[in-house]
Amino acid sequence: MTYIIAEPCIDLKDKSCIDVCPVDCIHEVGRMLVIDAEECIDCGACEPECPVEAIFPEDALPDKWEPFVKINYAYPDSAAIDQLVDQVKPPE
């Protein structure tokens, strides 16, 4: 299991989660932050730091944000991430 960053992070990118991550697995890509599943050690340090509650354990992700599993797992392919994010929430 890994952690997933979901829709509330789009266009916000607070980055307080980056500061507490002990393995630097959270990356800024386009309009949001994503967690690299290969690097994440499932420590959970990032989850309480998110001011918009956008970070969830993968098995507790609300169904409405299921597309964000694919978005986070697409890292490091920034072009794919940008395209997937725009499909979920088009730019205003």
- Specify whether the CB–CB gap between 13 and 33 falls below 8 A: yes
Q: Which domain holds residue 59?
A: 3-88
What's 43's domain CATH number?
Answer: 3.30.70.20
| The predicted structure's pLDDT at residue 1 | 75
| The predicted structure's pLDDT at residue 92 | 81
User: What confidence tens digit (pLDDT) does each residue in 50-90 have?
Assistant: 999 999 999 999 999 999 999 999 999 999 999 999 999 99
Model pTM score: 0.95
| Alpha helix (H) residue ranges in 1-92 | 16-20, 67-73, 78-88
User: What confidence tens digit (pLDDT) does each residue in 21-49 have?
Assistant: 999 999 999 999 999 999 999 999 999 99
| The predicted structure's pLDDT at residue 69 | 97
Give the other-Cβ count within 10 Å of 59's Cβ: 8
Q: Specify the number of domains making up the chain.
A: 1
CA atoms in the 13 A half-sphere facing the CB of 74 = 20
